[in-house]
Amino acid sequence: MIDQYDEQEGYCRMLGHRLPFRYCRSANDELPCRKIADCWYDVFPVLEFLAANYSEEELKAAFGVQPRTRMATLIEIINRARGQQNG
């Protein structure tokens, strides 16, 4: 049952406050947050939950692509700004 843990609250390491599990399991366009295992591993068997409730393709979509770092984003912005100045 996908909603069995929905009312449990835990600390979100990305947002910095407490949230219900239902947010974590659907935060990424109805797919789990990429940090869900980090935040919930000590509360219940979250890896087993994910395996039982999401397909391999869904899990790859949720966890397969790493977000860009702030540094990479800043470098891209700086390079675009330089290009606009020169162009």
Residue 3 resides in a domain: no
Residue 26 resides in a domain: yes
Structural domain of residue 78, as residue ranges?
A: 9-86
Number of structural domains in the chain? 1
Residue 54 resides in a domain: yes
pTM of the shown model:
0.70
Residue 13 resides in a domain: yes
Residue 55 resides in a domain: yes
Which pLDDT does position 68 carry in this prediction?
A: 65
Split at pLDDT 50, 70, 90, the class of 5 is very high
Residue 2 resides in a domain: no
Which pLDDT does position 73 carry in this prediction?
A: 80
Residue 4 resides in a domain: no
CB 79 within 8 A of CB 45: no
Residue 65 resides in a domain: yes
CB 8 within 8 A of CB 21: yes
